[in-house]
Amino acid sequence: MTAVTTRHPRAPQSDTQLLRFAMRADATVCGGVGLFVAMAADPLSRLTGLTATAEWIAGAALVAYGVALYSLARVPDIRRAGVTVLAGSVLFSIGVAVVLAAGLLPLTAFGVAVTVAFTVVTVGFAWLQYLGVRRIPT
């Protein structure tokens, strides 16, 4: 019996491994953090300054994003998906910086610190995704 495997003709599997790893790691962290935030929305709201509803919505959105990102890491044209995710991560980070600088949310000092830490992690994953995209031939 012969097994037939299909690979995307534009990029060998070894060229896509870093990008796929970065996307899956990002998805895992987002899903895990989102699950924690959604489950602990009430106690977290007292620490961060946001409402429990806002915390739950943010947590649920992170879980949904993690599931979508993990699914995207499986597509054959991973370069296009990686560029899209990278652009989204950069825009998210810029948006968070603008919101924090403008003081648009009623965050406590702890809330600001947690938001900055999460954004730094997002930038780290964006950097890995950028390196992964660069490894794939165009």
| Residue corresponding to tokens 């429990």 | 52
Query: Would 129 be classed as within a structural domain?
Result: yes
Scanning 40-77, the segments in alpha helix (DSSP H) are: 41-48, 52-72
The answer as to whether 33 is a domain residue is yes
pLDDT for the residue numbered 14: 76
Asked whether residue 111 is assigned to any structural domain, the reply reads yes
Q: Is 2 within the bounds of a domain?
A: no
In-domain check, residue 1: no
Of residues 87 and 9, the one with the higher pLDDT is: 87
User: Is 3 a member of any domain?
Assistant: no
Average pLDDT of the chain to the nearest whole number: 93
Q: For residue 110, is it within any domain?
A: yes
Its pTM stands at 0.86
Mean pLDDT of 51-71: 97
How far, in Å, are 11, 19, 74 from residue 30 at the CA level? 27, 16, 17
Look at residue 63 and tell me if it is in a domain.
yes
- The residue that leads in pLDDT, 124 or 14, is 124
Q: Determine the Cα–Cα distance for residues 13 and 22; give it in Å rounded to an integer.
A: 15
